[in-house]
Amino acid sequence: MAARADVTDSFETSRSGISGAAASLITLWAVLGGALLLVVVIMNVLSVIGAAVWVPLPGDFEMTEIGVAVAVFMFLPYCELTGSNVTADIFTARAGPRTIAFFKLLGSIVAVIFSLLLLWRNYANMQSQKEYEYTTAILQFPTWVAFIPILVSLALLAVAACLTLLENGGTVLDADRQ
């Protein structure tokens, strides 16, 4: 627990101004994603209890699918900002700081490109879902609505990727000066 707090503290205290505000917003967004997951778990518990005692909640699996998908997207900006994404350390175990800094910079560039690509394509998908009035089977919940927080998440992911790109670019430049 203390190690996680150290990582969180180090990324929040090293940023100020606009980047600090963005980091705070991204952290809040991830916390809201955790709250959404908690709501999904409570809904599932109530549905199981309801099925055992009386009747299950209709459409609980539909809301579980949507809630978990949205929550996962809500965590992505925080993972990018804190460097908590999956890495293949086996390839860099014997690499020097300059090489590692270069790979982190390369990863940030890829993250910016993919976040913008995902934002663009998910926006188009939301428009399509709305145009054709797609809904879930049981609750008739309009599926395009779930894309709104997903698009916010992807926009925040792009912001986080830009922040890490700038920071990792600075690290590469510092490594070159040494």
Tens-digit pLDDT profile for residues 37-79? 999 999 999 999 999 998 889 999 999 999 999 999 999 999 9
pLDDT at 176: 60
Report the alpha-carbon distance of residue 159 to residue 115 in Å, rounded: 9
pTM as predicted: 0.87
Structure confidence at residue 88 as a pLDDT band (50, 70, 90):
confident
111-159: pLDDT as tens digits: 999 999 999 999 999 999 999 999 999 999 999 999 999 999 999 999 9
Nearest to 60 by CA among 77, 33, 40: 40
CA max distance for the chain = 70
pLDDT of residue 49: 94
Percentage of the chain modeled with pLDDT above 70:
90
Closest CA to 154 of 99, 74, 93, 88: 74
pLDDT of amino acid 13: 46
**pLDDT at position 2:** 43
CB 172, CB 102: distance < 8 Å: yes
User: How is the chain split into domains, by residue range?
Assistant: 2-82+94-177
Look at residue 1 and tell me whether its pLDDT is greater than 80: no
